[in-house]
Amino acid sequence: MPRSTTPQTLSREITISGHGLHGNRPCSVRLVPVDAPTGLVFIHTPTGTEIPAKASLAGDLVLSTTLLKDGVRLQTIEHLLSALSGLEVEHLRIEVDAEELPILDGSAAPWVDAILQAGTKGLQGRRRFLKITQPVEVRNGDRWIRALPFDGLRLRYVIDFPIPSLGRQSRELSLTPEKYRRELGAARTFCLAQEIDMMRSRGLALGGSLDNAVVFGADGPLNDSLRFEDEAVRHKMLDLVGDLALLGAPLLGLVEAHAAGHALHVALVQAILASPNCWEWTENAEPANVQFFFHPLVAQPA
């Protein structure tokens, strides 16, 4: 159940600095509260370009989510958007001094901690939700993602990788701020050791290390430990929460994903927005008494 029925922003400013995962360049982000509902709006401070967090501006979705406008790009926005969306902070000015956001520890946890320390405040009006009323599905071969009617926001995710150390993982949960912090926020980004040379030859993951990513080799993770036994699928769900923020409004529905990623996440958002007969606006997010019917491949729900 949502924490508040009013739109939320931060109570005070936050500044976080680091380096980008892909470009390995220094970058800094300043989160600035707003006085009225605006949505989430990025400001590229070197050019002054305002880039709303909207799916219509998404592009370059290889291994991260990027916004593009007027020749300006903002890359790897998904972890910050995930933390904000997971904690129901939907109205904010986000000032960025580079073309990529800092990777930090590879999860959303540093953003979550900073948001909780700053606190939130309500704005005038009521939160408006985009409620799925008819199924919307996007497929790419055996990879797919869909949104179905549901009271609340519930996520089901399955990943399947061709190495035994990672393999098939699945998880399901109904999203609340508390469950986001406990179940998803600390899950780190990951990759396969065999993919690193290919990524770096394409100018990607130049700032990646075991300090900000889980690397899976043939015999298991190269990191000292995992934060969760199924950390990989949890991180995919973390990414999904961030990419769903590109709807521009909180979602009410069941989102199921199989072997998806940023490109399919964003394609689903775009498909939903292009299908106004499949959703409606509502200010009522009270969950009804419902029974869950679980897919046999999905882990015990949270």
Q: Could you tell me the two tokens for 197?
A: 């040379």
Catalytic (active site) residue 262: yes
C-beta atoms surrounding 141 within 10 Å: 6
Distances (CA, A) of 12 to 15, 116, 121, 163, 268: 10, 11, 9, 45, 33
Residue from 267, 261, 274 nearest 233 by CA: 261
H or E element in which residue 279 lies: strand 279-282
Residue 233 near residue 169 (C-beta atoms within 8 A): yes
- Which one from 79, 91, 258, 262 is the annotated catalytic residue? 262
Distance, CA of 262 to CA of 242 (rounded, Å) = 10
- For residue 67, which phi and psi values (nearest 5 degrees)? -105, 140
Residues with Cβ within 8 Å of 246's Cβ and at least 6 positions away in sequence, in order, are 53, 54, 55, 58, 65, 81, 266, 269
Buried/exposed 239-277: b ≥16 CB within 10 Å, e otherwise: bbbbbbbbbbbbbbbbbbbbbbbbbbbbbbbbbbbeeee
Which residues belong to the active site?
262
